Amino acid sequence: MKSETKCIHAGYTPGNGESRMIPIIQSTTFKYDTSEEMGKLFDLEASGYFYTRLQNPTNDHVAAKICALEGGSAAMLTSSGQAASFYSVFNLASCGDHVISSTAIYGGTYNLFAVTMKRMGIEFTFVDPDCSDEELEAAFRENTKCVFGETLANPALTVFDIERFADAAHKHGVPLIVDNTFATPINCRPIEWGADIVTHSTTKYMDGHDATVGGAIIDGGKFDWMAHKDKFPGLTTPDESYHGITYAEKFGLGGAFITKATAQLMRDLGSIPSPMNAYILNLGLESLAVRMERHCSNGLKAAQFLEAHEKVAWVNYPGLPSNKYYERAKKYLPNGTCGVISFGVKGGREAASRFMSNLKVAIIATHVADAHTCVLHPASSTHRQMSDEELLAAGVAPDLVRLSVGIENIDDIIEDLDQALAAV
């Protein structure tokens, strides 16, 4: 099946006379005839449902659809994108370990890594996604457990060189994790370029309607944990909390990572989405391919309009030929990048805020990447915990306005931008 068809059909195939839509199994628990049967589930000896904190059928159907879209071997939903980022790294790295991350990542992820996970004893080295080979090489240590980057960084819109970082990670015997939120699997499938694990904030384009916060983790199923046995003891040595099973042996290349993340992290930390939210996410996924097409065509037209406008200082949109990442975007995102544009209004911080308050169609919201056109000033909101130096390192200028172009008629969006700029 092609992506457009997977959006509709993957993950759930109703039997004769069964509901066409994924059923909402809004139940905390599941009934069994004997405690022996349930015991087998607890021991991971049999597969089945027993408590929604670990797994739920509605969630699993939706995870399976996302898994098919990304071309993975296994996937899980989480209650937020933050939980997906955390689980993906914490499933590999513990206290005393080290992780390499691109500097061009979402502000919330940066905070999770640089502050919260640092407090847990995991050290992070942040590297410029366009650093030299020597700098990248120098970042690796004996205790490095994974490399992390974002396909299309939020909000810097840096295009990550997935192949290059995957090669470097593999040379050092560790996997590459890619947050593919902005690109979505419609525009880029990182696993095809060598990434091992893919994460999402499904809150953005996947849900696409400002309706539910959620996340997903997808395993490409190719990384050979057993070939690096000493590096990943959590996957390659017995788990005493499950009677000594070894994930990489019992669940193989395709299943070990997600089974461990479910059996240990979801069990102990519990960031499970409600089945109702998974159902709503699925409604968004059904139209993801057509929405992404419109986001990309609207985004490009809005970016071209802004680039030609006299009151606009600069425009950052990797779909514009003038953009630093244009060629790389053509390689990794040949169908288009996304609907998110960043730009500066001449006159800096103040002019930007006057522009924003004059908008009529576009709304000011701490959100991005959905059907409704919206704008945000990251330096005073999502990224406010970062110093000016950290902001610049993450590719976020203090005067940057982030415009997330929705799926309205482009003429209305451009007219709105035009009148708001005229009022500056």
Report the nearest approach of ligand PLP to the CB of residue 230 (Å). 31
Site size with ligand PLP, rule: CB under 6 A = 17
Stretch that binds ligand PLP, among 4-12, 140-148, 197-205, 270-278 (CB under 6 A): 197-205
Nearer Cβ to ligand PLP (108/398)? 108
Hey, CA dihedral for 291, 297, 298, 300, is it positive or negative? positive
Tell me: does residue 80 bind ligand PLP (CB under 6 A): yes
Nearer Cβ to ligand PLP (111/304)? 111
* Residue span 215-244 as binding mask against ligand PLP, x where in contact by CB under 6 A, dash where not: x-----------------------------
Report the nearest approach of ligand PLP to the CB of residue 405 (Å). 15
194: left (phi over 0), alpha (psi -120 to 50) or beta: left
Contact pick of 3, 52, 82, 316 for ligand PLP (by CB under 6 A):
82
Contact pick of 60, 179, 219, 239 for ligand PLP (by CB under 6 A):
179
* Residue span 84-113 as binding mask against ligand PLP, x where in contact by CB under 6 A, dash where not: -x--------------------x-xx----
Phi and psi for 162 in degrees, rounded to 5?
-60, -45
* Residue span 311-350 as binding mask against ligand PLP, x where in contact by CB under 6 A, dash where not: ----------------------------------------
Site for ligand PLP in 134-163 (CB under 6 A): 150, 154
Contact pick of 184, 201, 262, 404 for ligand PLP (by CB under 6 A):
201
Report the nearest approach of ligand PLP to the CB of residue 271 (Å). 10
Report the nearest approach of ligand PLP to the CB of residue 171 (Å). 26
What is the C-alpha to C-alpha distance for residues 40 and 54, in angstroms, rounded to an integer?
15
Nearer Cβ to ligand PLP (38/363)? 363
Nearer Cβ to ligand PLP (150/161)? 150
Contact pick of 144, 203, 262, 277 for ligand PLP (by CB under 6 A):
203
Tell me: does residue 81 bind ligand PLP (CB under 6 A): yes
Nearer Cβ to ligand PLP (150/416)? 150
Binding site for ligand PLP (CB under 6 A): 80-82, 85, 106, 108-109, 150, 154, 179, 181-182, 201, 203-204, 213, 215
